[in-house]
Amino acid sequence: MNDLIEFDETQGLFHLHNQQISYLMAIEDFGLLSHLYFGPAVAQYHGQRRYPRRDRGFSGNLPGAEDRRFSPDTLPQEFSSSGAGDYRIPAAEIYQANGSKATDFVYQGYQILAGKPQLPGLPATFVQDQAEAATLVITLVDSVSQVALDLSYTIYRQRPIITRAVLVRNQGQTPVRLNKIASVQLDFPATDLEVISLPGAHVRERQVQREKIGYGVKSFASRRGATSHQMSNFISLVTPATTENQGAAYGIELVYSGNHALELEKDQLGQLRLVAGINQADFSWQLAPAEQFQTPEVILAYSDQGLNGLSQAYHHLLKERLVRSSWQNRPRPILVNNWEATYFDFDEAKLRPIVDQAAELGLEMFVLDDGWFGHRDNDRSSLGDWVVDQRKFPQGLTHFTNYVHQKGLKFGLWFEPEMISRDSALYRAHPDYLLAAPDRQPAPSRDQFVLDLGRADVRENIYQQMAAILATGQIDYVKWDMNRHFADLFSSALPADRQGEVSHRYMLGLYALLERLTQNFPQILWEGCSGGGGRFDAGMAYYMPQIWTSDNTDAVARLAIQWGTSLVYPPSMMTAHVSAVPNHQTGRTTSMALRGDVAMSGMFGYELDLTKLTPTEKQVVKAQIATNQQYRALVQQGDFYRLSAPETLAGCAWAFVAADRSEMLAFAFSELSQAQPVFQLIKFVGLDPQRQYQDQATQQVYGGDELMNLGLYRPVASGDFQSWRYHFRAL
Ligand code: DGJ
């Protein structure tokens, strides 16, 4: 027993609770584990809410049941089998040697552990001391196949968070094949919950979509081998009345970077089932006797303070108990990246003036993007050959990195370690290193192919190549890119009946490689990237504190992208750059001021040819750098609040509030200006209503309650694409 987890033996009830949330389960007839409740805390559960019994036509019973009113097809459950009378989406599908996939998982026992065990080989949230969380492991067993499921639930003491994962153990005498194994199932009583998801596309990631949930099945998924730009692996379930600051909001977030599916089913009785985990499309896994399979972790959160409350819960958890980098709380260097400045057309002589200019303007890091290795003058060659191109750097890379360092700048370098070009020495030496089906041409995408990272020898090759460069000690930052999705799921290293394992083995291989590199080079600031935000997820955040949010650097488009991303990920994870106008993705021209304010709302940098700036623009850049240096700790470590959504008449606004509520930096943005403008209020959130705050620009003093309840009228925009900054300090 533990003060966070109780088991009532007489009633067969499990209660996980802290000051904020409760999670309740019960052992039912036949050992089924039912889900009773997840939501605001109840101090003590007296056992009165049990699932009512009723005979429902065509919802059958369990073998040997006398009571026709008890059906696995209607009971809210913790982890449903398939082929045992529950017709809703199953959480597990396990084929046995005889071809049957029927399983009937029943309660066998439980264990309560202090703290939270880590998941072998997988990213996961952690604890710093054993008292801050407790873990309940409930074991279910299918008596025929002797497959056991260890369902683990960790509750954090101070957070409205429960993490879950499942360990499958084959205790039988014959192999089984996992066809589906979810990380979580969560059943809700009849409900009018709505779902918020984050669909998108390349250069248009994580756009907020909110919809009613109708009868039937709805799935938010990726089978692209990566989290994807197209559908994030997070959803929120909210009541129709939930707003940014009020109402109930549940969050479901996978700690995984590969194929995922978050499935919802509203059943015949209006009850809602959620099942989430590795996408069963392109997945199967052989489990020999005595073998185990660990699912990825899922983070469940609940807030009764609307979506901002939910986001705060995730932001704090990810910043404090997922990201492990030594850079998590250190000021991130203001960088200039040469991608949009030069693309592939550069050499040391052409880059030096950009470096000179960066130093003169006060930037802190120069990042050399794609094109420095092999003979890569375009995107058709050299991936896999992590050797500097002597044509571009005749005196070697170190000659250039020395130059950058002598200018007082840090040096960052781009890699795309998971990929191979056919035009590469690596491909010529190891044509079998890429994923490709026998006798078929693998499908190119950006003219590149995916390395089989499930293979230890492939990982070793890439590790050695990268380590040789990183070990020079010249590299302060690495941008880890990944620019295509999987198509040819076949590994030359696996037998025919294991080809369904390729995608997940790839992820395990990727995580192993990332672990080795980030642990062996912990001083490096690692940034994730996948054609922008194609793999923006909690799995990658375990290794890398920041991720390139989108290849779309247009400030206006970025408002919606950063807004949507912030639903679950903190600004400390989002990198954002000021780029040239007309913008390379949208063709739009916006002011330096707007571009600066949007980029400063994340981890800040530039992505343009600094030598082409006008004298006035250079002054603006200098001022922006000073401003960012003043505010970056607040942006990185403060609490982020969404105030008003992009693409609304009022216009986008958001704020960063210090943990002790002594300071607030807020931004308001306007998109298209109006001829007969409606006066719009901006109401701030997260301040202390008892304290007085001084506007640092006007010296005007306001009560925290005034700023939050009365708000201020926003300035009226004259002209499109404007932004305003507010900075208040408590007196
Ligand atoms: C995609 C990234 O998102 C860009 O920033 C850039 O690094 C290119 N790849 C380089 O190929």
For residue 369, the ligand 1 atom closest to its alpha carbon is: 7
Mutation pick for ligand 1 pocket among 482, 529, 558 (CB with most ligand atoms within 8 Å): 529
In terms of Cα–Cα distance, which of 564, 657, 50, 19 is closest to 302? Answer: 19
Q: What sign does the CA torsion over 506, 512, 515, 519 have? A: negative
Q: How far is the CA of 91 from the centre of ligand 1 (A)?
A: 37
Structural domains of the chain in order of their starting residue, each with its CATH number: 5-321 (2.70.98.60), 335-637 (3.20.20.70), 644-730 (2.60.40.1180)
217-264 pLDDT, tens digit each: 999 999 999 999 999 999 999 999 999 999 999 999 999 999 999 999
Q: For a pocket test of ligand 1, which of 346, 480, 551 has the largest count of ligand atoms closer than 8 A to its C-beta?
A: 551
Cα(517)–Cα(469) distance, rounded to whole angstroms? 12
Taking the CA of residue 529 as reference, the ligand 1 atom at the shortest distance is: 3
State which amino acid sits at residue 452.
Answer: D
Ligand 1 atom closest to the Cα of residue 337 is 5
| CA 235 / ligand 1 centre spacing (Å) | 27
Active site residue 481: yes
Q: What whole-number distance in Å separates Cα of residue 241 and Cα of residue 312?
A: 19
| Closest residue by CA, ligand 1 atom 2 | 531
Instruction: Please say whether the dihedral angle defined by the alpha carbons of residues 338, 341, 344 and 346, taken in this order, is positive or negative.
Output: negative
Q: Can you tell me which atom of ligand 1 is nearest the CA of 607? A: 5
Residues with beta carbon inside 6 Å of ligand 1? 339, 369-370, 414, 481, 483, 529, 531-532, 548, 551
Note if 551 is an active site residue. Answer: yes
What is the best residue among 202, 203, 229, 339 to mutate for testing ligand 1's pocket, by most ligand atoms within 8 Å of CB? 339
Residue nearest to atom 1 of ligand 1 (CA): 531
Where does 509-638 show beta strands of DSSP type E? Answer: 525-528, 546-548, 574-579, 603-607
Q: Taking Cα atoms as reference points, which of 594, 642, 591 lies closest to residue 616?
A: 591
* Cβ atoms 261, 268 nearer than 8 A: no
Closest residue by Cα to atom 11, ligand 1, is: 370
Beta bridge partners of 234: 253
Around Cβ 614, how many Cβ atoms within 10 Å? 9
Residues 138, 16 contacting (CB under 8 angstroms): no
Q: Rounded to whole angstroms, how far apart are CA atoms 194 and 236? A: 8
Q: Which residues pair with 218 in a beta bridge?
A: 264
Catalytic residue among 481, 537, 597, 639: 481
Instruction: Take atom 9 of ligand 1 and give the residue whose Cα is closest.
Output: 531
Torsion from C-alpha of 587, 666, 711, 680, nearest 10 degrees = 0
List the residue whose alpha carbon is closest to atom 10 of ligand 1: 370
How much distance in Å is there from the Cα of 632 to the middle of ligand 1? 25
Q: Which atom of ligand 1 has the smallest separation from the CA of 551?
A: 3
Residue 369 Cα to ligand 1 midpoint, Å, equals 7
Instruction: Tell me the pairing of strands 105-114 and 209-212.
Output: unpaired
Residue type, 279: N
Q: Distance from the CA of 422 to the center of ligand 1, in angstroms?
A: 19
Residue 559: φ, ψ to 5°: -55, -50
CB neighbour class for 309 (10 Å; exposed up to 12, middle 13-18, buried from 19): buried
For a ligand 1 pocket test, name from 548, 558, 575 the mutation site with the most ligand atoms within 8 angstroms of its C-beta: 548
- What pLDDT is recorded for position 1? 58
Cα 528 to the center of its chain, rounded Å = 11
Q: Which residues contact 634 (CB under 8 A, 6 or more apart)?
A: 656, 658, 663, 665
Task: With both helix axes pointing from N to C terminus, report the angle between 502-520 and 456-470 in degrees, rounded to the nearest 10.
Answer: 30
Interstrand relation of 701-703 and 663-670 (parallel, antiparallel or unpaired):
unpaired
Question: What angle (nearest 5°) sits at the alpha carbon of residue 542, between those of residues 538 and 545?
Answer: 90
pLDDT digits 0-9 by tens, 590-636 = 999 999 999 999 999 999 999 999 999 999 999 999 999 999 999 99
Where the chain has pLDDT below 70, the residues are 1
Catalytic choice (282, 370, 551, 554)? 551
DSSP state of 707: I
Measured CA to CA, the distance from residue 364 to residue 334 in angstroms comes to: 5
Residue ranges of E strands in 246-341: 249-255, 260-266, 272-278, 285-287, 292-294, 297-303, 335-337
- The three-state secondary structure class of 151 is strand
**Contact status, residue 359 vs residue 427, Cβ threshold 8 Å:** no
Kindly report the CA angle at 328 between 624 and 609, in degrees rounded to 5?
35
How far is the centre of ligand 1, averaged over its atoms, from the C-alpha of 481 (Å)? 7
Residue pair 127/103 in contact (Cβ under 8 Å)? The answer is: no
3-state secondary structure of 255: strand
Compute CA distances 374 → 351, 390, 642, 692, whole Å: 18, 8, 44, 60
Which residue is listed with tokens 């070793």?
A: 460
